[in-house]
Structure 1
Amino acid sequence: MARYHEVYRRSLDDPGAFWREAAAGIDWHTPFTEVFAGERWFPGGELNTCYNALDRHLADRGGQAALIYDSPVTGTRRSYTYAELHDEVARTAGLLKSLGVRRGDTVVIYLPMVPEAVVAMLACARLGAVHSVVFGGFAAPELAARIEHARPKVVLSASCGLEPGRIVEYKPLLDAALAASAHRPEHCVILQRPQCEAAMGEGDLDWATAVAGAEPAGCEWVAATDPLYILYTSGTTGMPKGIVRDNGGHAVALHWSMAAVYDTGPGEVFWAASDVGWVVGHSYIVYAPLLAGCTTVLYEGKPVGTPDAGAFWRVAGEYGVKTLFTAPTAIRAIKKEDPNGDLVKDHGLRYLFLAGERLDPDTYHWASDLLGVPVIDHWWQTETGWPVAANCMGLEPLPPKPGSPTVPVPGYDVRVLDENGAECPPGVEGAIVVRLPLPPGTLPTLYRDHDRFESAYLARYPGYYLTGDGGHLDADGYLFVMGRTDDVINVAGHRLSTGAMEEVVATHPDVAECAVIGVADELKGQVPAGFVVLKSGTARPAAEIEAELVALVRERIGPVAAFRRVSVVARLPKTRSGKILRGTMRAIADGRTYRPPSTIEDPGVLAEIERALRSG
């Protein structure tokens, strides 16, 4: 670990020199006067993120593929060179400029996974406008709340989005959101898709016609501390919580991460199998690969599950993907449909990175054995924008420890604190925090709500950023993230991690997916309840498997876990991005009034969970 330790210590002992060196990978219009001052990175510097993602590559790699679009739901495959993507972005920026969008204005983007979504984000960055991408699965009330809070001058949307077997009409959702919002944008530009063309209203503009008549726009130089985008956290209730990302720190950190964490450089192909509406899509579909001169893949559809559990491997092999980044849920879904890996062909991958939720050791071993390449768990958040803990393959590959995202990434001074703010010894669980200042690229504030930023993230442990996750560091400095701190349950005075129980349950050979939540118990305060989805083809009685799981947890964790309730279910409630809705499950268990998130994949599954809970 000598190389890693050297870089990590330098990032903490002399962050000014460390990030000054990293900033040399970005083209600056005006050099920054200081690396860090007044809680902000690179003050005094001016740059343009779109210029760094596109324009500066034109001389050396204008003919190289910048974006590959693969859409099995429409039967479309298309590649854009850096020159072609630059031209599309410049014309779209020209359209926005003609509609009055200027530096500092906000633009809401409500689009499916189509090239225009990438173009729209980069076009905003080109003008110095602040984009706010709203995930295409959000319903009208959530979209309305974000429009009202962001106050966009323009909304960019589409007639529809496509999912396997169904069409989602976006325009009626947008119209309903605008009717419910107190803010009215000056213009809505609609991308008409042939699968379902939308009726246009007064003031609506057709995307293709409007862009065709626009003059290309150049780059506007902005301050490094100016915002690039606002991203509202998924599952927001009440007032939306808008994560702000600045231009300078974001560009520096993401460019550095591509080489140091992902070991992926100019000309190589990177695929983040996510959605542009989430932080992974912002960081690692759009910005980071293009800042690094890579080719990025944009996939429209669900690359897992029936009918095509082999889509990951098909896309990877067809386009020469070096690095694939997805969620553990996706790999577990593939494992459920294709447990023996019969669909795995010549994938050509060099790395598989996983993040978004805990990677259970069983899934880690299955993927490692099947693919024969490094499977790297890593951990980060919407708030951080790039990895907090990882096995940094571009610095020094470290021995993996299943269940751990490995070690803190340079720039992040990660600690584990107890309730009194004292550091926990190795192996003892507590709150995972990051000692201030946070590195570049992380959130400097919440949009129009700095007081909330301080109360939510900084007040609990002064001098530290509170991640909201619990876990521990081991004697070797490896971080183990056991889940949100509200996933820690108190069983008869014993604090227990439901994540640790999930880890045990997932090792059962018949289990494809699982979730464990805390439910109220008259005697013990809380007890854990488990829900499992079995692998395809499992014919054994559910009661038999449930009994084995209870015995397994008792064996691995002990009777103190009080793990006696487990139910086999057909599926778990998830968002369309694949995250299990544990919070909603806890609300059902507690008998609280809840509203299913608009991003839920299948609302009907909640009734099955409720029946299982009521049955005991």
Structure 2
Amino acid sequence: MIAPELQESGGEYRVIAQRSRDDREGFWLEAAARIDWSVPPSAALEERSETEWRWFPGGRTNVCANALDRHVAAGRGDDTALIYDSAMTGTRARFSYAELRDRVARFAGALRAVGVAAGDRVLIYCPMTPEAVIAMLACARIGAIHSVVFGGFAANELAVRIQDAKPRAVVTSSGGIEPNRTVAYLPLVRSALDICGGGASSVETVIVHDREAVPGSAADYAEDREIAWHDWASLEADAALADPVPMRSEDPLYILYTSGTTGSPKGVVRDSGGYAVALSWAMRNIYDFGPGDTIFTASDVGWVVGHSFIVYGPLLAGGTTVLYEGKPVGTPDAGAFWRVLSEYRAKILSTAPTALRAIRREDPELDALAGYDLSSLRAVYLAGERMDPETWHWVNDGLRVPVVDHWWQTETGWPICANPLGIETLPAKAGSTSLPMPGFDVRVVDSTGRDITAPGVEGNIAIRLPLPPGALLEIWGSRQRFVDSYLSAFPGYYATGDAGHFDEDGYLFVMGRTDDVINVAGHRLSTGQLEEVLTAHPAVAECAVIGVHDDLKGQRAAGFVTLKHGETVVREELAGQLVRLVRERIGPVAAFRDVTIVDRLPKTRSGKILRKTMRQIVDGEPYTVPATIEDPGVVDALIEALAATVSAPATQTVAVPR
């Protein structure tokens, strides 16, 4: 929801957005009627205080039953629910709604057999295989709270999550498969348990899916007298089918730790009823998705995108979801995504901008599209990192479908801003996340929390409380930490941590994290604004801009760029061209003169560029590489590139192989 003084775009959207403001209770109770309740809620919202609220009080439901059982009961048990496609092993598999329900019910029974009950936590540490989805839904079926940890996380990071969530059981696999290696999970699990104190930890049981491609099984740890290690298949074979357990709307469905946490993890708590209602509304109204449709969400179940739009959202909507194990490039080439979209006739591609930038770097002319039929594709949705306008135009012109750069966070669970294609297709604006969705009262405030929302005025993006259904209720184990982390900076608001502005049509432009704003001699410049300019250069594939210390101006902007494959440039010439571009489009106030060419940028596995870490390296400050980094070796390469830039001759030629 946007400020009333801003002009709203779109007729149908305007009517729906207005109703969500004027009749919040009726709007969300009507949305809640689209899922099944064993006990209907008595109201839409219960506000307990300014910082505490609950959605659909009194209601009881089961998210797994809504995702699976009700579709079978409606006569669609033979419809495909889940497609598994592994580019790593060549495995393909399909699960109907009836088949997936039975697999989930069986594994839910297996969890019960080892003592897991409603309210217990289960930590899931699996690769992108069907077992990860089955384990998540099985927990939801019996009311256990799952916490999915990205497969391959280091033992220490796994340990701190175990210590925080205190799970009764761990569900894992023998390992994961990367393009050039396998990652054995069981030694990491064993090490994490040892860090937690072995039998002194909360974990009583480890359930292992034995994956043929990766050595290791529960039998390797059979002599462990402190923790019971079970083989998944054997445990499942003896288990009875478990029925869904009705849960209170406010009961936690899962805990998801935000990326980048170290030492003191921050577990976002998602409720059951509010989340199911929000995702049902979003799938229908934002994504225009329902029975008969297929979505390919190129993410991981360890991230919020995987939770909401690989697993729960598509299944709540009764459609087909694709679970893909592979990369956007290199498995085997830059056409990997196009193959999946074509083979499964997907209507929607949802991915991170970094994946598209990787494809663009490998295949700038989209030659790999040839031979693939993408006539079923209706839209591309992007999230996780700001989409630069240059790449937006590239994919928009290349695929010729709406490209929606929508904005949301682990904490919100579903889009804050989007182009709601299920309501109407609004005009797209490169660089904008489009319009706020019902329930999100998005404002721009200054450093004191004063509302400064007006066209073109940049500041801190905040959301007026209460947050809508589906957003986090608290941080696991500490309500005060929730308040301190998100609600105290601007009383009455949720602080998003992002900076940006609205335009005259009410479109929101998210320009970067608030700590990525550069202050050059008193002038505030956003990294996103500068990065837009750099990526406009035809040789640049991807870039990151950071603010580095300057004795005179306080900070100055420094750019790090990767080149498109096949490009050959003279370093000093490229730097000069980029400096001129910034001066032409931003002005000399940016004081932009530093350009470093790198092979890759340091990123988290979810695609976020580690700008803070880069700034600390450049400024010579102590830094810690986050556990979520995709490739720790990139940091060493970055340091080498900085050294080479300082010592390199002006005529140095830099070539990127095709």
Q: Following superposition of structure 1 onto structure 2, how do residues 171-250 of structure 1 map, counting pairs within 5 Å?
A: 171-182=186-197, 183-199=201-217, 200-201=220-221, 202=224, 203-250=228-275
Instruction: Work out whether 1:303 is the aligned partner of 2:328.
Output: yes
Q: TM-score, normalised by structure 2?
A: 0.92
1:406-425 deviation digits (Å, cap 9, x = unpaired): 11011111000112322222
Instruction: Work out whether 1:430 is the aligned partner of 2:459.
Output: yes
- Partner residue in 2 for 1:528: 557
The ranges of structure 1 where at least 4 consecutive aligned residues each deviate by more than 3 angstroms after the TM superposition are 611-616
Pick which of 303-312 and 109-118 moved more.
Answer: 303-312
Instruction: Work out whether 1:25 is the aligned partner of 2:34.
Output: yes
Q: TM-score, normalised by structure 1?
A: 0.98
Q: Following superposition of structure 1 onto structure 2, how do residues 112-127 of structure 1 map, counting pairs within 5 Å?
A: 112-127=127-142
Q: Following superposition of structure 1 onto structure 2, how do residues 138-157 of structure 1 map, counting pairs within 5 Å?
A: 138-157=153-172
- Partner residue in 1 for 2:44: 35
Following superposition, the deviation at residue 305 of structure 1 comes to 4.4
Q: Following superposition of structure 1 onto structure 2, how do residues 441-480 of structure 1 map, counting pairs within 5 Å?
A: 441-480=470-509
1:85-117 deviation digits (Å, cap 9, x = unpaired): 001100100000011111100000000000000
Q: Following superposition of structure 1 onto structure 2, how do residues 157-556 of structure 1 map, counting pairs within 5 Å?
A: 157-182=172-197, 183-199=201-217, 200-201=220-221, 202=224, 203-305=228-330, 307-344=332-369, 345-348=372-375, 349-424=377-452, 425-556=454-585
CA distance in 2, matches of 1:175, 1:545: 50
| 1:597 alignment partner, one of 620, 626, 649 | 626
| 1:57 alignment partner, one of 67, 71, 88 | 71
- 8 Å CA contact 1:305, 1:337 repeated in 2: no
- 8 Å CA contact 1:137, 1:576 repeated in 2: no
Q: Report the identity percentage.
A: 60
Following superposition, the deviation at residue 587 of structure 1 comes to 2.2
CA distance in 2, matches of 1:499, 1:305: 28
> Quick one: which amino acid aligns to residue 534 of structure 2?
V
- 8 Å CA contact 2:262, 2:626 repeated in 1: no
- Partner residue in 1 for 2:109: 94
CA distance in 2, matches of 1:238, 1:156: 22
| 2:146 alignment partner, one of 109, 131, 138 | 131
Which runs of 5 or more structure 2 residues have no equivalent in the other structure? 1-9, 647-658
- 8 Å CA contact 1:262, 1:393 repeated in 2: yes
1:423-445 deviation digits (Å, cap 9, x = unpaired): 22210110001111110000011
CA distance in 2, matches of 1:427, 1:15: 29
- Partner residue in 2 for 1:46: 60
Following superposition, the deviation at residue 601 of structure 1 comes to 2.3
SS across alignment from 1:514: strand
Pick which of 153-162 and 588-597 moved more.
Answer: 588-597
CA distance in 2, matches of 1:532, 1:253: 38
1:249-285 deviation digits (Å, cap 9, x = unpaired): 0000001100110111112101111000000000000
Pick which of 572-581 and 44-53 moved more.
Answer: 572-581
CA distance in 1, matches of 2:581, 2:460: 27
CA distance in 2, matches of 1:516, 1:47: 47
Following superposition, the deviation at residue 599 of structure 1 comes to 2.9
SS across alignment from 1:157: strand
CA distance in 2, matches of 1:211, 1:328: 39
CA distance in 2, matches of 1:460, 1:174: 38
Distance of aligned partners of 1:114 and 1:320 in 2 relative to their CA distance in 1, 3 Å threshold: same
1:464-497 deviation digits (Å, cap 9, x = unpaired): 1110100001111000000100000111111111
1:524-560 deviation digits (Å, cap 9, x = unpaired): 1111111000000002222211211111111110111
- 8 Å CA contact 2:328, 2:358 repeated in 1: no
- 8 Å CA contact 2:559, 2:594 repeated in 1: yes
| 2:100 alignment partner, one of 56, 81, 85 | 85
CA distance in 1, matches of 2:416, 2:345: 28
Distance of aligned partners of 1:324 and 1:33 in 2 relative to their CA distance in 1, 3 Å threshold: same
> Quick one: which amino acid aligns to residue 2 of structure 1?
G
> Quick one: which amino acid aligns to residue 57 of structure 1?
H
CA distance in 2, matches of 1:390, 1:103: 35
- 8 Å CA contact 2:294, 2:347 repeated in 1: yes
How many residue pairs get aligned? The number is 616
CA distance in 1, matches of 2:18, 2:571: 51
1:549-591 deviation digits (Å, cap 9, x = unpaired): 1111111101111111011111111223322222221221232
CA distance in 2, matches of 1:450, 1:590: 36
Higher RCO structure (Cα 8 Å, ≥6 apart): 2
> Quick one: which amino acid aligns to residue 213 of structure 2?
Q
CA distance in 1, matches of 2:69, 2:81: 12
Pick which of 414-423 and 185-194 moved more.
Answer: 414-423
SS across alignment from 1:299: strand
CA distance in 2, matches of 1:587, 1:361: 27
CA distance in 2, matches of 1:370, 1:555: 28
Pick which of 141-150 and 586-595 moved more.
Answer: 586-595
- 8 Å CA contact 2:87, 2:331 repeated in 1: no
CA distance in 1, matches of 2:642, 2:40: 60
CA distance in 2, matches of 1:244, 1:100: 23
CA distance in 1, matches of 2:616, 2:193: 30
- 8 Å CA contact 2:109, 2:242 repeated in 1: yes
